[in-house]
Amino acid sequence: MWNEGPVNRRRVRHRLLGTDELVRAFVDGDVEALDELVRRHRAVPLGAARRHLRSSAEVEDVAQETWCRFIVHAADIREPARLASWLWVTAANEARRQRRHEARRQLVDGVDDLAAHQPDDDAAFTRPECRDAVSRAVRARLNDRERELLALLMDARGLGYQQISRVCVRPIGGIGPTRARIIRKLQSHPDVVRVCGAAA
């Protein structure tokens, strides 16, 4: 006959507890309460991350980071019964942070792609000195939000305006006009005009 050990009894007891009770149990040192919390709410941070990220690996990373933050800050959660909401908000914030970080990286690595936004396929934009001029124009002319938007527009994954709107917290209708202003700012920068031959 199967002998129900203390570990199995604790697991059964944990499944009968409410979320708030499990959080308090974990804070009080019951490490196994975390297993039940993860079992119940594993989908929450994953779902929040998927709204902002495409890569499955990035989504998993965000979910893992969210649970790590729970472990560190569990005692500070004011409403343990609303853990699902806390997990969702925490994961969404982390996903947006990762997206912004990736956007900045894309901007640095992908400034070559700015040529695709030009009205004419001018070979001048492929020259290294022209790419350097565009990079200087980006640093000199664009603020942080404009740089983030430009990086997302140049994202190799081809993000749509709806996704960009969520990441930048910007109305969809404002993305197109802002994009046009950004390109005009860069094209009219003296270095770009001189080196690349862009019209002011």
Q: Is the CATH number 3.40.50.880 carried by domain 6-95? A: no
Give the pLDDT of residue 83: 95
Q: How far is CA 30 from CA 10, 107, 193, in A?
A: 10, 46, 66
Cα–Cα distance measured from residue 152 to residue 132, given in angstroms and rounded to the nearest whole number: 20
Tell me, what DSSP letter sits at residue 127? S
Topology adopted by domain 110-196: Arc Repressor Mutant, subunit A (1.10.10)
Give the pLDDT of residue 84: 95
Span(s) in the chain for CATH 1.10.10:
110-196
Q: Say if residues 149 and 178 touch (Cβ distance below 8 Å).
A: yes
Cα–Cα distance measured from residue 15 to residue 11, given in angstroms and rounded to the nearest whole number: 6
**pLDDT confidence bin for 38, thresholds 50/70/90:** very high
Q: Say if residues 115 and 164 touch (Cβ distance below 8 Å).
A: no
Q: Say if residues 148 and 100 touch (Cβ distance below 8 Å).
A: yes
Record the pTM: 0.53
- pLDDT tens digits for 48-94? 999 888 788 889 989 999 999 999 899 999 999 999 999 999 999 98
- pLDDT tens digits for 101-148? 666 555 544 454 544 444 443 444 445 677 677 778 888 888 877 877
Long-range contacts of 175-179 (CB under 8 A, 24+ apart): 175/149, 178/146, 178/149, 179/117, 179/149, 179/150, 179/153
- pLDDT tens digits for 148-188? 777 777 664 556 777 777 766 678 778 788 888 888 888 78
Give the pLDDT of residue 101: 67
Span(s) in the chain for CATH 1.10.1740.10:
6-95
Q: How far is CA 135 from CA 113, 125, 139, 146, 180, in A?
A: 11, 12, 6, 14, 17
Cα–Cα distance measured from residue 98 to residue 58, given in angstroms and rounded to the nearest whole number: 8
22 phi/psi in degrees, rounded to 5? -65, -40
